[in-house]
A and B are shown apart, each in its own frame.
Chain A
Amino acid sequence: MKRLRWLTGLVVIVIISVVVMGYRLPSLLEWQSLFLKRVFFILLLCALFCLVRILRGPTPADRAVAIDILGILVLGFCAILGIPTGRDWYIDIGIAWALQSFISTIALAKYLEGRNFDE
């Protein structure tokens, strides 16, 4: 039963990867190369994993960890969007997002820590 679950997960991940690698979307932006488009979709896949963990995490600490990871991933999104569009202000958005994500993660950690004292 455990082997079956492992095999099913592996097959699902391989199918998703092949679809991401082979899918041809109409151009959302003026992409310079096809490689950067693939990069964009792999980052979207990572964000989807984080959303699944937020959805089915058993404890609130799992959700806080997934929110932290999602905040760091958005920084990578902003860095990659700066290359094909040629605009420099995407990295400014990334810096502001990193600062806000750090502060919100610290606030969530203080919330988790203090919740045991009230009960």
Chain B
Amino acid sequence: MNEFLGTIFIIIGLAFDFFGCLGLLRLPDVYNRLQASTKCVTLGTCSILFGLFLFKGFTSAGIKAILCIIFLLLTAPVSAHALARGAHKSGVKLWEKSVCDKYEEDKQGV
């Protein structure tokens, strides 16, 4: 029963990984790619790790998988935010059909 549930979680995580990487390949802009791929791949990998926890149970590998989920959920948004800030400060242009850029307005206003 636990193996069945773990297999289902691994399949869900795999679908999220695949569509996140497809967005990384297809979308037109740095910020669009970041927004599509970071969230999807983080959630997909967390789901795969939770499937590993369901396979292993409360052994050392399962507890390490839970620790790894916590670490990944803490660090992946931080790194994505730092990358977006660095890209905007180094002067990467937005896509020409983008509708608003609040960060640029803040920099112009001050």
Contacts and interface: CB of A to CB of B under 8 A. Distances in A.
Given A68-B38, A76-B17, A88-B60, A115 B79 contact: no
B52 A82 contact: yes
Contacts of A113: 85-86, 89-90
A88 B11 CA distance: 21
B89 A50 contact: no
A106 B80 CA distance: 9
A83 B37 contact: no
Contact of A39 (B10, B59, B79): B10
A69 B24 contact: yes
A69 B41 contact: yes
A80 B65 CA distance: 11
A102 B24 contact: no
Interface residues of A, number: 47
Contact of A66 (B17, B24, B56, B86): B24
Contact of B71 (A43, A60, A98, A116): A98
Given A65-B34, A91-B65, A83 B55 contact: yes
A80 B45 CA distance: 10
Given A65-B83, A95-B68, A116 B42 contact: no
B83 A108 contact: yes
Interface of A: 9, 13, 35, 39, 42-43, 45-46, 49-50, 52-53, 59-62, 64-66, 68-69, 72-73, 75-76, 79-80, 82-83, 88, 91-92, 94-95, 98-99, 102, 105-106, 108-113, 115-116
Given A76-B49, A79-B68, 15 more contacts: A43-B17, A45-B18, A46-B18, A69-B41, A76-B48, A79-B45, A79-B52, A80-B48, A82-B61, A83-B52, A88-B60, A102-B75, A105-B79, A109-B86, A116-B90
